[in-house]
């Protein structure tokens, strides 16, 4: 069942062109994003250990993201590409986190909804990458990732709906989609996931 909301602004041709022009750099950033996605799922477990209803799914999501990291890293190894030495600030994620409510309960909902929006954007971009690739094996890999991130986009909304009223969740999610549109359009075009 579809629980997330679609992103409002599609990724640009300029972005996919930048990715395809320097796929090695994209892979380096992509690997980092998967590792961070795993850490983000586990950070919910660390911050909200009393939310027992969602912990199994958070752990499962963290494991899936870590598997994605492992798969991207294997691909990098096969191409002789190393992980990035220093990890730059993710301005896109930072711009969104900055807009979170400060109250503990509202912040919990906001972080779940941001996670959904990030996953939904990731899915949209992986689909674009899959469509642009010529190598059949790589295409299949990015298609698999697209489906997986789209599923994560739903899961985080499902988690929010466990604790908050549906109307409140969707009003706020629609607001986050607007914020995300602004954040993604403010980004410099680079061969990176965002």
Who's near 176: CB < 8 A, 6+ residues apart?
96, 110, 113, 114, 116, 117
Contact positions with Fe ion (CB under 5 A) in 23-42: 34, 37
Backbone φ and ψ for 69, nearest 5 degrees, come out as -60, -45
| Helix (H) and strand (E) counts in the chain | 7, 0
Contact positions with Fe ion (CB under 5 A) in 43-102: 65, 68
Chosen residue from 152, 155, 172, 180 binding Fe ion by CB under 5 A: 152
Q: Per residue, what are the HEC states of 27-55?
A: HHHHHHHHHHHHHHHHHHHHHCCCCCCCH
Smaller CB separation from Fe ion, 38 or 109: 38
- The tokens 């899936």 sit on which residue? 64
Chosen residue from 119, 124, 142, 192 binding Fe ion by CB under 5 A: 119
Chosen residue from 32, 90, 149, 180 binding Fe ion by CB under 5 A: 149
Smaller CB separation from Fe ion, 7 or 37: 37
Least separation in angstroms between CB 165 and Fe ion: 26
> Under the rule (CB under 5 A), what is the footprint of Fe ion?
34, 37, 65, 68, 119, 149, 152
């Amino acid at each position: 069942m579809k629980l997330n909301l679609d992103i409002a602004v599609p990724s640009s041709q300029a972005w996919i062109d930048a990715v395809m022009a320097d796929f090695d750099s994209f892979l380096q950033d992509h690997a980092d994003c998967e590792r961070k996605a795993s850490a983000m799922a586990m950070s919910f477990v660390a911050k909200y250990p009393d939310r027992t209803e969602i912990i199994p799914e958070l752990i499962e999501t963290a494991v899936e993201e870590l598997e994605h990291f492992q798969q991207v890293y294997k691909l990098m190894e096969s191409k002789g590409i190393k992980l990035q030495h220093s990890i730059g600030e993710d301005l896109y994620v930072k711009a969104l986190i900055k807009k979170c409510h400060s109250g503990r309960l509202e912040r919990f909902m906001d972080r779940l909804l941001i996670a959904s929006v990030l996953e939904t954007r990731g899915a949209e971009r992986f689909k674009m990458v899959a469509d642009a690739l010529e190598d059949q094996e790589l295409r299949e890999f990015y298609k698999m990732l697209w489906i997986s991130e789209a599923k994560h986009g739903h899961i985080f909304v499902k988690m929010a709906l466990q604790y908050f009223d549906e109307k409140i969740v969707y009003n706020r999610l629609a607001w986050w989609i607007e914020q995300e549109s602004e954040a993604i359009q403010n980004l410099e075009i680079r061969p990176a996931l965002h």
